[in-house]
Amino acid sequence: MVATGAITTTEQAVDLLAPSRRQAALMPDLITQARHIAGSVINGWHGRRKRGTGDNFWQFRPYTQGDMLSRIDWRRSARDDHTYMRDREWETAHTIWLWCDPSPSMLYQSRFSPISKQHRALVLTLALAELFSRSGERIAYPDVLPPLLARNGVERLATALTQSGTLAAQPELQSLQRFNELVLISDFLQPADVLNAQLDQIARRGLRAHLIVVADPAEADFPFQGHTEFKDPVSGQILVAGRAQNYAEDYRRLYQAQRDFLRETCTRFGWSFIISQTDKPAAQALTTLHGFLGHNVSVGGGAV
Interior/surface letters 210-222, b for 16+ CB within 10 angstroms, e for the rest: bbbbbbbbbbbbb
Q: Nearest to residue 86, comparing CAs of 56, 43, 44?
A: 56
Checking if the pLDDT of 129 tops 70, the result is yes
Q: How far apart are CA 121 and CA 99, in angstroms?
A: 9
Residue 130 lies in a domain: yes
> Are 202 and 77 in the same domain?
no
> Are 153 and 286 in the same domain?
yes
> Are 156 and 22 in the same domain?
yes
- Band (pLDDT 50/70/90 cuts) for residue 88 is low
Query: Quick one: CA torsion of 213, 215, 217, 221, rounded to 10 degrees?
Result: -70
Give the pLDDT confidence of 222-237 residue by residue, as tens digits. Answer: 999 999 999 888 788 9
- State which amino acid sits at residue 270: G
Residue 4 lies in a domain: no
Residue 37 lies in a domain: yes
- Beta sheet of 272-277, edge-to-edge order: 145-148, 138-141, 95-100, 181-186, 208-215, 272-277, 302-303
For all residues of the chain together, what is the average pLDDT?
82
> Are 58 and 193 in the same domain?
no
Q: How far apart are CA 242 and CA 142, in angstroms?
A: 44
Residue 10 lies in a domain: no
Q: Which domain holds residue 212?
A: 18-46+94-303
User: What pLDDT score was predicted for residue 23?
Assistant: 39
State the average pLDDT over residues 122-139. Answer: 92
> Are 105 and 201 in the same domain?
yes
> Are 132 and 252 in the same domain?
yes
Q: Nearest to residue 202, comparing CAs of 259, 265, 276, 128?
A: 265
Q: Nearest to residue 169, comparing CAs of 106, 127, 111, 114?
A: 106
> Are 229 and 268 in the same domain?
yes
> Are 126 and 151 in the same domain?
yes
- Band (pLDDT 50/70/90 cuts) for residue 69 is confident
> Are 203 and 219 in the same domain?
yes
Q: How far apart are CA 182 and CA 202, in angstroms?
A: 9
> Are 81 and 191 in the same domain?
no
Residue 5 lies in a domain: no
Checking if the pLDDT of 99 tops 90, the result is yes
Give the pLDDT confidence of 21-31 residue by residue, as tens digits. Answer: 443 457 888 99
State the average pLDDT over residues 92-96. Answer: 70
Checking if the pLDDT of 53 tops 70, the result is no
- Band (pLDDT 50/70/90 cuts) for residue 92 is low
> Are 127 and 204 in the same domain?
yes
Do residues 131 and 157 lie in contact, with contact meaning Cβ atoms separated by under 8 Å?
no
Residue 64 lies in a domain: yes
pTM: 0.77
- Band (pLDDT 50/70/90 cuts) for residue 113 is very high
Number of domains within the chain = 2
Residue 6 lies in a domain: no
> Are 107 and 247 in the same domain?
yes
